[in-house]
Amino acid sequence: MKGTIKPPTIPEHEKSSFVKQLLAVIEQQADIIRQQAEKIQQLSDEIARLKNQPPKPDIRPGSLGKKKTGASKNKTQKRPGSKKKSKTANLEIHHTEPIEPDEIPDGSQFKCYKDFVVQDIRLQPYNTKFRLKVYETPDGGYVIGTLPAKFNGKHFGPTVIRFILYQYYHCHVTQPLLLEQLDEIGIDISAGKLNDLLIEGKERFHKEKDRILSVGLEVSSYINVDDTGARHQVLWSRKNGHFLLSRPLV
């Protein structure tokens, strides 16, 4: 311990009974001081924890000049979980292309393939023209082919609609930037139609959102609404107030 006073070394033949008693007292007091210092440090750490302050750092003595033991053994051991695994083993392969060496010496024999997977993405328009066949019936009427149900009569497929919704609601891309992005990709769409795709036909999502509170109250056994001190406008009294509600549902 820092600050410990060590008595001078006294030869055994020079120690009288009085000196031995003094040395015993000094050793006893040093032990008491060491215990008190540890207790004080524990209390200081507890006070720091209660005040959200960092405790005393555990600084180990320096190892400068000391010989390291077992260094060669640690170098050979690998960190747990560091074993290499194939990162592309579960990837879906869309295209496979064999590549021949630039030069093949005469008499060479093919043995195997060495796979090298490259991940990429394609953002390009994919337009489909549906040619709905029209037939005239014997009674003078007409029958016409029907579009697949997934298109729902729209001129934009489900993939591009999912892309628009993801960019707008998840990535927070504004409508002007999203319109510019679609134009750069090659999608011909107007600002009005883009707005319709974002807001029309979402009634079931609005109904689901409106039922979140009522369903939560039905299935929960406890309500806990805690206010952190922010000011709220109380509509019925036109005053700012603080709320704290915590009650079980019975």
Is position 106 within any domain? no
Selected residue with higher pLDDT from 200 and 243? 200
**E-strand stretches of 111-243:** 134-136, 142-144, 222-226, 232-234, 239-241
Q: How far is CA 211 from its chain centroid?
A: 29
Is position 80 within any domain? no
- Spell 74-90 as b/e; 16+ CB within 10 A means b: eeeeeeeeeeeeeeeee
Domain that residue 25 falls in: 17-50
Which segment, 3-7, 50-54, 83-87, 105-109, is predicted with the most confidence on average? 105-109
pLDDT for res 180: 95
Is position 246 within any domain? no
Is position 128 within any domain? no
Residue identified by tokens 């005393």 is 56
Selected residue with higher pLDDT from 42 and 70? 42
Is position 28 within any domain? yes
Nearest to 93 by CA among 123, 120, 122: 120
Nearest to 23 by CA among 37, 1, 6, 44: 6
pLDDT band at 131 (very low <50, low <70, confident <90, very high): very high
- Quote the number of domains for the chain: 2
Residue 77 has pLDDT above 80, yes or no: no
Is position 39 within any domain? yes
Cβ–Cβ contacts within 10 Å for residue 45, how many? Answer: 14
Is position 177 within any domain? yes
Amino acid identity at 176: P
Is position 64 within any domain? no
pLDDT for res 27: 84
Residue 233's Cβ-side half-sphere holds a number of Cα atoms within 13 Å equal to 2
pTM: 0.47
13-27, 58-72, 209-223, range with the lowest pLDDT: 58-72
- State the virtual CA torsion across 223, 229, 231, 233 in degrees, nearest 10: 20
